[in-house]
Chains A and B, each alone.
Chain A
Amino acid sequence: MATEATGGGLEFKPMEQFEVKALFGETVAWYTPTNVTLWLFLTALAAISLLVLGSRGRAIVPSRAQSVAELTYGLVHKMIEDIAGKEGLRYFPYILTLFLFVAFANLLGLVPMAFTVTSHIAVTGILAMAVFVGVTAIGFIKNGAHFLDLFWVRSAPLAVRPILAVIEVISYFVRPLSLSIRLAGNMIAGHAVIKVFAGFAAIAAVAPVAVVAVVGMYAFEVLVALVQAYVFTILTCVYLKDALHPSH
């Protein structure tokens, strides 16, 4: 590893935590259960237990778990309604799935010794590509050729429109890239920083500072985990709005 530094037993391996390992055996084929598989399943389990077990009581006056489930439901529901409008609510279950998946993957990744599935570009890339392909398909199905109005800015002077169209097309195709890299980058950066600070704890003189820094970064990362899930979902809603109402 390029960041390896050997001096006084100081060792930085901030990227080691992201390695994909098979749970049983050595080789990683496409079907092998790996640590990715394990944490993906734990993520799904956590999301399901929040929403399904939480709402099991079906009480008019909700229990604590049920209120959390309802708040999550309400948050995503309101987000779609505010941004994409009533038509967007058709896609509510998928957007809720995305939000819960990203939020729980981020949060579970902060458990010590855990593996963060959303720190992998393969995972976030698929999430972003699913949103991109899905939204583009919805745009063309709902609006037909009018969907291309998204790139043809009618409010701008005619001479500027072709230039704007090029910029709009580029920014449209950058969307899945920025969506996936934002999430993965945030996760990688946060976890790597925590690991680096933890590495400094090997030096006795700076160990207390390092421990305080790790605690502070950890708290910050909890916030980032939730904010990134929120941002991923809200951007999905924005893209969905563009697909449903392409004219500016």
Chain B
Amino acid sequence: MEGELANLGKYIGVGLTAFGMGFAALGVGNVAGNFLAGALRNPSAAAGQTATLFIGMAFAEALGIFSFLVALLLMFAV
């Protein structure tokens, strides 16, 4: 597609993908916050679960990165 209108739509779409990053941030914060809440209740069990924490954060974050990828594709590849 060419033209001003197509570019307009493209930029609007790219802007909308930024919401995806925001929601991913909510997800990561949720994981970290719940981990902290659990860790404060039972600090002795917290050390063994750091790996799980990172895996959870990675999964939550990956979806935000996907929205970033969509933005990049819209900007550069479409």
User: Which A positions have Cβ atoms within 8 angstroms of B?
Assistant: 2-3, 15, 79, 82-83, 178, 181-182, 185-186, 188-189, 227, 230-231, 234-235, 238
Contact = CB atoms under 8 A, between A and B. Distances in A.
Contact of A231 (B54, B66, B68): B54
Contact of B69 (A15, A181, A238): A181
A8 to B, nearest CB: 21
B58 A231 contact: yes
Contact of A79 (B51, B65, B69, B72): B51
A234 B69 CA distance: 23
B75 interface: yes
Contacts of A182: 58, 61-62, 65
Contacts of B57: 231
A234 B62 contact: no
Interface string B54-78: 1101110110011011001001100
Given A181-B65, A182-B62, A185-B69, A234 B54 contact: yes
B72 to A, nearest CB: 7
Given A181-B69, A188-B72, A83 B62 contact: no
A82 B62 contact: no
Interface of A is mostly: helix
Nearest to A3: B75
Given A2-B75, A3-B75, A188-B72, A234 B65 contact: no
Nearest to A230: B54
B58 A235 contact: yes
Nearest to B51: A234
A193 to B, nearest CB: 11
Contacts of A189: 65, 68
Nearest to A178: B62
Given A231-B54, A234-B55, A181 B76 contact: no
A234 B54 CA distance: 8
A166 B54 CA distance: 26
> Which 4 interchain pairs have the tightest Cβ spacing?
A185-B65, A231-B58, A178-B62, A182-B62
B9 to A, nearest CB: 13
19 contacts: A3-B75, A82-B51, A178-B59, A178-B66, A181-B62, A181-B66, A182-B62, A182-B65, A185-B65, A185-B66, A185-B68, A188-B68, A189-B68, A227-B54, A231-B55, A231-B58, A234-B55, A235-B58, A238-B55
A186 B55 contact: no
Nearest to B58: A231
Given A79-B51, A230-B54, A238-B55, A186 B65 contact: yes
B65 to A, nearest CB: 4
Contacts of B75: 2-3
A50 to B, nearest CB: 22
Given A181-B65, A182-B62, A2 B54 contact: no
Nearest to A227: B54
A234 B61 CA distance: 15
